[in-house]
Amino acid sequence: MPMTPRERWLAVLNRQTPDRIPCDFWGTPEVIKHLMKELGCAAEDDLWRTLQIDKTHAVQPKYIGPPIPEDGDVWGIRYKTQSYADGLGSYREVFHYPLAGMSDPAELEDHPWPDPNWFDYSVIPEQLAEWTEWPVMAGHYEAFYFYSNMRGIESALEDLALHPEFADRALQKIFEFCYEHNRRMFEAAGKDGGILYTYVAEDLGSQCGLRMSLDMMDRFLLPRMKAMVDLARVYGIKAFHHDDGACFPVLPRMVEIGIDILNPIQWRCPGMEREKLKKEFGDHFVFHGAVDNQETLPFGTPEDVRNEVKENIRILGAGGGYIVAPCHNIQPNTPTENILALYETVVTC
């Protein structure tokens, strides 16, 4: 009898053999809408079943806090909609950075930081009961990303060297909210209550190297990331680490703090060769991603996509420990036949 998507993920995460290699989907809302129309799917779950995708579902609490502007979020960040690809897609771009212009760490005490009491966590068990078929995640901790959007990326990076006390205090404020926010979600679900993994991420790699020194990571980021991983462990939850680009030098630290799943495996970046990653870290990480969406998916042929998926499975999936997925969100300029080729190849390998 075929496994459910959840059972496939569990098998791979527990280093067991599934009925077939699992796959996940990352794509923009425009791509999902287009695929649903093309394949005649009335709901997203119908799409995942049609393409036999083991799609992650996310549970989250209900927001009950003070009103948030339509163009804002709980962090006080404000966004504008920016179109791209000749209007095929759009994304939210930050235009208001709530911590910009501050210089004294004391000013951070008066900032309206989000409060876990703004959320109703009692809705989580009901969500979990709906999604027993699917792998489920909960929680998103990416402190420097949040800080960059609150401060501005240039100022955020400069702060690590020029204003360390300010950066440290702001990052601690972000950590305190996220830790308690996640704890309440995990507690609502219960130990071994259906949440497979939580997102403990940072974009530490650029296209050609690290965005900051390892010393900076050790000083500002890794201890708090480890605390988030340790919290997840208490509830039997795995830690999923998203780290774009050429991030190989930081991967030993990810092993040390207890990361279980590594994404997105941009293997065209220097130092990220698939054979090297599998040899060095195959016993530590389950790999997630690796189907290139900078070149192969948008600009290759269906045969190029099929060949790359087969290569990924051969290399990263040798002996288990691999979940096939695009390196990042599939973009709306990606040919439909390439997307179909990706998932058809997974289920026929």
Report the chain's mean pLDDT, rounded to a whole number: 97
Residue 258, pLDDT score: 98
pTM of the model: 0.97
Instruction: Extract the tokens encoding 342.
Output: 């990706």
Alpha-carbon distance values, 301 to 296, 297, 314, 341, 342 (Å): 8, 8, 20, 9, 11
Provide mean pLDDT across the span 115-127: 97
Residue 193, pLDDT score: 78
Residue range 139-186, pLDDT digits in tens: 999 999 999 999 999 999 999 999 999 999 999 999 999 999 999 999
Following DSSP, what letter does each residue of 149-161 receive, concatenated?
Answer: HHH-HHHHHHHHH
Residue 349, pLDDT score: 85
Cα–Cα distance between 71 and 32 in angstroms, integer?
Answer: 23
Phi and psi at residue 150, in whole multiples of 5°? Answer: -90, -25
pLDDT of 38 higher than 90: yes
Residue 192, pLDDT score: 78
Closest CA to 243 of 216, 209, 276, 220: 209
Residue range 40-78, pLDDT digits in tens: 999 999 999 999 999 999 999 999 999 999 999 999 999
Residue at 51: amino acid letter: L
pLDDT of 191 higher than 90: no
Question: Residue length, the chain?
Answer: 349
Provide mean pLDDT across the span 276-301: 98
Residues 6+ apart with CB under 8 A from 199: 137, 139, 140, 141, 142, 240, 242
Cα–Cα distance between 343 and 55 in angstroms, integer?
Answer: 12
Which of the listed CATH numbers 3.30.450.20, 3.30.1180.20, 3.20.19.10, 3.20.20.210 matches domain 5-348? 3.20.20.210
Residue 171, pLDDT score: 98
Phi and psi at residue 330, in whole multiples of 5°? Answer: -65, 130
Residue 163, pLDDT score: 97
pLDDT of 122 higher than 90: yes
Provide mean pLDDT across the span 314-321: 97
Residue 207, pLDDT score: 93
Cα–Cα distance between 123 and 173 in angstroms, integer?
Answer: 26
> Percent of the chain scored above 90 by pLDDT?
97
Bridge-based pairing of strands 286-291 and 62-63 is unpaired
> Percent of the chain scored above 70 by pLDDT?
100
Instruction: Extract the tokens encoding 122.
Output: 């009692």
Residue range 199-238, pLDDT digits in tens: 999 999 999 999 999 999 999 999 999 999 999 999 999 9
pLDDT of 289 higher than 90: yes
Residue 85, pLDDT score: 86
CA–centroid distance for 152 within its chain: 21
pLDDT of 125 higher than 90: yes
